[in-house]
């Protein structure tokens, strides 16, 4: 049976591009002193929050007349003031009038938001005598720590809150099941007023992420893990960097791992990074599910595209799917579910991790055990199933044609040496890391020991097996293999996705490769190049006749054709987002195809390594003399054109001679750039290239290109005359280092090829 290809559902995008939703990210601050609150507000700003909730009820000592002005004046972010009483889940135990006085003072001082509970909202408005404060929006909130009401009751609650003259409606409920969250989404997506809808608890986690998809006004992210103002809050870091919250929009597709427990899984980290790197508009979330059938029927929208399935739902998934592939059906376990976009039907499959061997002992008769036993049997192994319950072991053994024994008997089971052992149970998983399914003395009979548990990576079983002389395989290898198989089923992406999962260096591959015409082939791994021959000759063979053997004639070809209809797909190939090690980590946009071609004037400038937020100066609008342009274009063309006219009488050859005489080793770098261009695809992921060259280039951009170039400013002679000599010197230094680095790389590769 064919697995549906759902790739057509995805729209490619930049992992760090413009935000796709207006949902605000609020960091709750629950410090016990005002000084600590100041520090936390600054930390929230540095961490990417849009606003901060000041929980006044957390303060040990609070003097409104002195503390509120201190907090409000010169605040670096908008502030939401909450003074939560203990009867609504807070820590304040005093009378309401004291709270009302503090909140009214905050409004008078210009607070951006205040939160008041629905139960006392009318009293509060009477207290302030119906006065409105233009600078302050009032959030009227309701918290239910027992359950999530029906859609009808939630709708009535929204109407009651609106009747209080609230600017923003906030409802927080508690999830008894993950399906409760769907009712909140239904209210959210149809709300006609600014609406904050959050469902507390681990089963409600998706409400805090997918509110960005369904139109929520804000969500909360904590500064530190575990320091929460309500149950189930994720961290700011996870919302921004694990779930890529800014990139979640109405058309974002939803994936997730279904299980119970599920919080230990590394799948969201792996899949979301893959989505981001490959330009897929999707988000992968934890799904703590109690009733699989109910979950699948509740979240039946085709926006919920695919699910990884783990314990204890793999066997139940077989009956929940509309269609099941033959392998999954034969072993009675499904670990991957796809919702077919054409009709919404659920297609179940299994990504098998086959391990071949001699005598193959599988611990566990659940879904993972079935998959592994089936794969081993298919490869010709003699399979033995060991399980705590012998009857379950016997049942699986009969199904696949193997033997069975009780787990308690495994310590004394050694019919031969060199056996293979595979643990597919949760024995040894955090937090019970001291447990192991088999005694250490029995491990000497195994040549290979595998553990499906990957938290911790090295379980007690693997540690003792290694000490006993066995080769060990961690659960991470199985996890990556399954993840790749599931990812391919989710997206229908080509072979390059496999590279992303198997080679960490490839995880920066551009999304453009996935949308290139089928006829477009890249020389991956140096294919088509003979590195053992003279590199210059090899490059010349790649050049068209019109170039007359000169790389300079075609080095800007990728720039030029990127704006034509047939090559528009290639535009994302011109940049790469990397983290450069500096005093503060900075995301920068590295233009791979142009940065190192110093023989082309337009490409030997700063801002070909620039900040991701402004796309290397492309979104900073400035004027070059009277002409409106952007900062990137100023450094790409305009400074050079002005210098050519002012200093060299518009004589390009004179300018080139001057540059060659001023920049040390320019000739060597020119020659090396030919080699780099020819083999760029093979080497662009080399860490030393990214960090050494890009770090120097971003330093130049910060010191010279970005400096004083604010949006709307006019740049003239004074801007670039003082910069050119220093820039030339720094470029020369960078060129010398790059030449040395590349020389070592290619010398090494040539020796290997010749040998």
As a whole number of angstroms, the distance between CA 583 and CA 580 comes to 10
Is the omega angle on the peptide bond into residue 81 within 30 degrees of 0, that is, cis? no
Contacts of 291 (CB under 8 A, 6+ apart): 177, 179
Largest Cα–Cα separation, the chain: 92
C-alpha distances out from residue 652 to 413, 490, 605, 639, 641, Å? 83, 53, 17, 14, 10
Place of tokens 């209080």: 164
What are the backbone dihedrals phi and psi of residue 332, each rounded to the nearest 5 degrees, phi first? 70, 30
Contacts of 264 (CB under 8 A, 6+ apart): 429, 430, 455
Give, rounded to a whole angstrom, the gap between the first and last alpha carbons of the chain. 47
- H/E run at residue 377: helix 367-378
Identified catalytic residue from 170, 213, 314, 749: 314
Contact indicator for 227, 27 with CB cutoff of 8 Å: no
521 is catalytic: no
Contacts of 391 (CB under 8 A, 6+ apart): none
Six-digit token string for 226: 């575990």
Angle between helices 535-542 and 666-678 (to 10 degrees): 60
Running DSSP on this structure, what letter comes out for residue 280?
Answer: B
- H/E run at residue 733: helix 724-754
In our burial notation (b when 16+ CB lie closer than 10 A, e otherwise), range 260-288 reads bebebbbbbebbbbbbbbbbbbbbbbbbb
As a whole number of angstroms, the distance between CA 499 and CA 509 comes to 9
In our burial notation (b when 16+ CB lie closer than 10 A, e otherwise), range 314-349 reads bbbbbebbebbbebbbebbbbbbbbbbbeeeebbbb
C-alpha distances out from residue 647 to 16, 20, 640, 654, 657, Å? 40, 46, 10, 10, 13
Q: Give which of 495, 505, 447, 501 is closest to 478, Cα–Cα.
A: 501
Contacts of 693 (CB under 8 A, 6+ apart): 595, 596, 734, 737, 738, 741
Query: Can you say whether residue 350 is alpha, beta or left, with left for phi > 0 and alpha for psi between -120 and 50 degrees?
Result: beta
- Please compute Rg for the chain using Cα positions: 31
As a whole number of angstroms, the distance between CA 296 and CA 344 comes to 11
Which positions are catalytic? 314
């Amino acid at each position: 049976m064919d697995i549906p290809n759902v790739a057509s559902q995805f729209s490619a995008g930049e992992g760090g591009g413009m935000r796709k939703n207006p949902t605000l990210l609020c960091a709750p601050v629950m410090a016990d002193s005002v000084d600590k609150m100041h520090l936390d507000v600054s930390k929230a700003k540095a961490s990417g929050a849009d606003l901060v909730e000041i929980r006044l009820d957390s303060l040990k000592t609070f003097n409104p007349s002195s503390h509120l002005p201190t907090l409000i004046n010169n605040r670096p972010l908008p502030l939401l003031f909450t003074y939560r009483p203990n009867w609504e889940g807070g820590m304040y135990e005093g009378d309401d009038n004291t709270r009302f006085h503090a909140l009214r003072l905050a409004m008078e001082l210009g607070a951006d938001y205040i939160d008041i509970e629905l139960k006392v909202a009318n009293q509060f408005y009477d207290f302030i005598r119906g006065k409105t404060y233009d600078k302050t929006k009032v959030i009227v909130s309701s918290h239910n720590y027992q359950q999530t009401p029906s859609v009808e009751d939630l709708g009535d609650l929204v109407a009651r809150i609106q009747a209080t003259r609230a600017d923003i409606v906030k409802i927080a409920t508690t999830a008894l099941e993950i399906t409760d969250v769907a009712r909140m989404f239904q209210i959210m997506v149809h709300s006609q007023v600014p609406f904050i809808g959050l469902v507390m608890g681990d089963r409600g986690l998706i409400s805090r992420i997918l509110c960005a998809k369904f139109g929520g006004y804000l969500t909360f992210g904590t500064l530190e893990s575990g320091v929460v103002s309500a149950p189930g809050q994720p961290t700011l870091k996870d919302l921004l960097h694990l779930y890529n919250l800014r990139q979640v929009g109405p058309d974002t597709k939803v994936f997730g791992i279904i299980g119970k427990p599920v919080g230990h899984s590394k799948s969201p980290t792996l899949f979301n990074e893959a989505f981001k790197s490959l330009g897929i508009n999707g988000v992968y979330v934890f799904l703590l599910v109690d009733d699989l059938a109910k979950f699948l029927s509740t979240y039946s929208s085709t926006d919920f595209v695919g699910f990884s399935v783990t314990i204890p739902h793999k066997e139940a998934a077989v009956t929940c799917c509309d269609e099941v592939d033959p392998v999954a059906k034969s072993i009675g376990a499904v670990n991957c579910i796809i919702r077919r976009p054409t009709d919404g039907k659920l297609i179940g499959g299994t990504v098998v991790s086959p391990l071949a061997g001699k005598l193959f002992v599988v611990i566990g008769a659940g879904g993972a055990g079935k998959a592994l036993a089936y794969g081993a049997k298919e490869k010709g192994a003699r399979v033995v199933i060991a399980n705590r319950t012998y009857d379950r072991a016997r049942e699986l053994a009969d199904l696949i044609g193997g033997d069975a024994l009780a787990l308690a008997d495994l310590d004394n089971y050694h019919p031969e040496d060199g056996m293979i052992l595979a643990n597919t149970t949760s024995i040894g998983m955090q937090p019970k890391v001291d447990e192991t399914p088999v005694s250490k003395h029995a491990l000497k009979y195994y040549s290979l020991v595998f553990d499906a548990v990957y938290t911790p990576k090295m379980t007690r079983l693997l540690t003792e097996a290694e000490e006993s002389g066995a080769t060990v395989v961690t659960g991470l290898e199985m996890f990556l293999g399954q993840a790749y198989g599931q990812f391919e089923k989710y997206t229908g992406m080509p072979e390059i996705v496999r590279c992303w999962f198997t080679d960490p260096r490839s995880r920066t591959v551009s999304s453009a490769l996935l949308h290139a015409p089928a006829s477009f082939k890249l020389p991956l791994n140096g294919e088509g190049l003979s590195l053992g021959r003279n590199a210059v000759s090899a490059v010349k063979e790649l050049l068209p006749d019109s170039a007359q053997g000169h790389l300079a004639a075609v080095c800007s070809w990728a720039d030029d054709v990127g704006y034509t209809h047939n090559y528009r797909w290639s535009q994302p190939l011109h940049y790469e987002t990397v983290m450069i090690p500096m005093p503060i980590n900075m995301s920068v946009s590295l233009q791979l195809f142009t940065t190192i071609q110093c023989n082309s004037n337009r490409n030997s400038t700063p801002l070909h390594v620039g900040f991701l937020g402004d796309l290397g100066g492309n979104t900073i609008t400035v004027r070059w003399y009277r002409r409106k342009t952007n900062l990137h274009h100023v450094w790409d063309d305009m400074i050079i054109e002005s210098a050519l006219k002012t200093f060299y009488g518009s004589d390009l050859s004179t300018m080139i001679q001057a540059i060659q005489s001023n920049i040390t080793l320019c000739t060597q770098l020119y020659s090396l750039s030919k080699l780099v261009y020819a083999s760029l695809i093979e080497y662009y992921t080399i860490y030393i290239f990214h960090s050494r060259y890009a770090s120097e280039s971003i330093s130049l951009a910060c010191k010279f290109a970005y400096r004083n170039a604010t949006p709307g400013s006019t740049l003239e002679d004074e801007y670039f005359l003082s910069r050119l000599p220093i820039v030339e010197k720094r470029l020369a230094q960078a060129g010398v280092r790059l030449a040395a680095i590349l020389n070592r790389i290619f010398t090494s590769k040539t020796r290997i090829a010749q040998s």
